[in-house]
Amino acid sequence: MKKIIMIVLLAVLCIATASALCVDNDGGALSYSPSSVTVNNYEYTDYCLPDGNVAEFTCVDNQLSVEEMPCLLGCHNDWKGNGACVPTGGGSSDVNDVQSSGFETQSFDVESQNEIPEFNSAAAGIAFLASAGAFLFLRKRN
């Protein structure tokens, strides 16, 4: 009886260690967050591609997955060598976060995102005219 129990325990232990455990260190497909994925104690780091996009590793159904993610302003490496998109002044276009339900349901089409414009020429013109007017007004007073 002891031999049967030992064989069953050994079989369960072998099956448990044979299944790959995929751990995404940033919680999902976040192209503006440099990170890595660990599978069976081997680390896969996000990296910059020659075209300026980033190769983003993530876990889908506990399996390693990699996808090319578009970067609006190019890609850079952090101090650990992990690649990530250069942040934009208006915020990132990432729509996936740690609490989202699934990687495959997310849209990464940049044109469909509601991003804050990084530079608006009308606002810049108004700011310039206001500062020039204030300068001239204060200059005449003194």
Residue 27 has what pLDDT?
A: 74
Spatial separation of the C-alpha atoms in residues 49 and 67, rounded to whole Å: 11
Q: Which phi and psi (to 5°) does residue 30 adopt?
A: -115, 100
Residue 28: per-residue pLDDT: 75
What burial class does residue 37 get, using C-beta atoms within 10 Å of its C-beta: 0-12 exposed, 13-18 middle, 19+ buried? buried
Sequential DSSP letters for the chain: -HHHHHHHHHHHHHHHHHS--EEETTSS--TTS--EEEETTEEEE-EE-TTS-EEEEEEETTEEEEEEE--SS-EEE-TTS-EEEPPPTT-------TT-S-STT----GGGS-PPPS--HHHHHHHHHHHHHHHHHHHHH-
List, for residues 69-106, the tens digit of each pLDDT value: 899 889 988 877 788 888 877 655 554 444 433 334 33
Provide the residue-wise pLDDT of the chain in tens; the chain has 142 residues. Answer: 555 544 444 444 444 444 558 888 777 777 777 888 888 888 898 999 999 999 999 888 888 889 998 998 899 888 777 888 888 776 555 544 444 333 343 344 444 444 444 445 556 777 788 888 888 888 877 5
Over its C-alpha atoms, the chain yields an Rg (Å, rounded) of: 25
